Amino acid sequence: MSELAASTPDARAEELIRLTGRLTTMLDQETELFEARRPHEAVAMQTEKMRLATLYRAETQRAAREPERLAGLAPALKQRLIEATESFNAALERNHAAVEALKVLTEGLVRAIAEEASRQKQAQAGYGPSAARYGAVGALACNQTA
């Protein structure tokens, strides 16, 4: 589905409000999982979220190109559409902040692991009794004459 199943501006607005609400709910659920440090549980909703986001993007682009698609809406319906859009944008901002926090956390964790691995490798390097204790190979020199 690449277009909302509606033929009048009022029906299109109702469908867009419903679609925006579904996306907002999904973003809120995903954000909660991110904030609870359980991003792996959000994987299950990615396909549906992307499908809905693609439909939302296509529909809003059509509405921008063809203003008649949402022309003549009753003020109350137009206000509901505006409020749904504002809620969606707020959910996007919260989701972005949660994603950024996870990114910083993950990068810090990867950096700490890499630094610790590097420290352990440096401690094992070298010559002498301590290097042999960790199974490190000492220097090897070969001199072959014919």
36-53 pLDDT tens trace = 989 999 999 999 999 999
pLDDT at 133 over 90: no
Asked if 88 and 20 touch (Cβ cutoff 8 Å), the reply is yes
**Which of 108, 120, 97, 17 lies closest to 63, judged by CA?**
17
User: Whose structure tokens read 């999982």?
Assistant: 33
Which pLDDT score, from 0 to 100, does residue 120 have? 81
Distance CA 56, CA 48 (A): 12
Letter for the amino acid at 143? Answer: N
Select the more confidently predicted residue: 28 or 102: 28
Instruction: Report the predicted TM-score, pTM, of the whole model to 2 decimal places.
Output: 0.73
> Radius of gyration over alpha carbons of the chain, in Å?
28
Distance of CA 64 to the CA centre of its chain: 26
